[in-house]
Amino acid sequence: MKSENIWAVRPGLLLAFLTLLFGIGMGIVFGVNEDGVKQWINSGIATHPAVHDEKSATKIWRYAQRAHFHATGIGAFTIGLILLIALVDMKARLKTISAVLVGLGGSYSLSWLMMFLLAPSMGRDAAHHALWTEVFVYVGVGGLLAGISLLILNLFFGVGTPTSTVTADTKPSDSVNTTYAVEGS
């Protein structure tokens, strides 16, 4: 893989690696101090009992786990998508935009973190609809879908290729002269 291909997608790769590191970090916190995390949840529930029911402790703990699961999963597959973006025949600026949009997909895991952090004090439903929770959902899902859409448009329809020789009914290899000389003919 050429270094200019990686250079164009570096901002997206940074976002993807940060997402992966966030997920790994949450796993480390759980491994080192799971009881402390659960105690923090129970303390918040005890302080604000009016907004909780008997399921709150397990549901809020599940939000923390989902933040971890989503961060590691999204981080891993966005790295793969961004490396694919680096390999395709796409204008460098469009590669950067696509990679950043895909990399922003990791912010979806932050929506679960926000629900985990907010739910003990405001309740589960309010945490689901909190401004920052929704911002992270829309940025994460919207960015990921937009970035993947750009990749699909490029791969299957030639949108954003450096030259305009590729159309929807030709493959990039069709525009290359593949005449070879054969010895003895």
- Asked whether 57 and 38 are in contact (CB, 8 A), the reply is yes
Q: How far is CA 181 from the centre of its chain?
A: 48
Taking only the tens place, the pLDDT of each residue in 171-185 is 555 544 444 344 554
Place of tokens 């590691």: 72
Distance between CA atoms of residues 116 and 41, nearest Å: 8
Tell me what pLDDT residue 3 has: 81
For residue 71, is pLDDT > 50? yes
Taking only the tens place, the pLDDT of each residue in 117-130 is 999 999 999 999 99
CATH class of the domain at 3-175: mainly alpha
For the chain, domain boundaries: 3-175
Alpha carbons within 13 angstroms on the beta-carbon side of residue 125 total 4
Residue 145 has a CB neighbour count (10 Å cut-off) of 13
168 secondary structure, DSSP code: T
Tell me what pLDDT residue 167 has: 55
- Asked whether 109 and 74 are in contact (CB, 8 A), the reply is yes
Q: How far is CA 41 from the centre of its chain?
A: 27
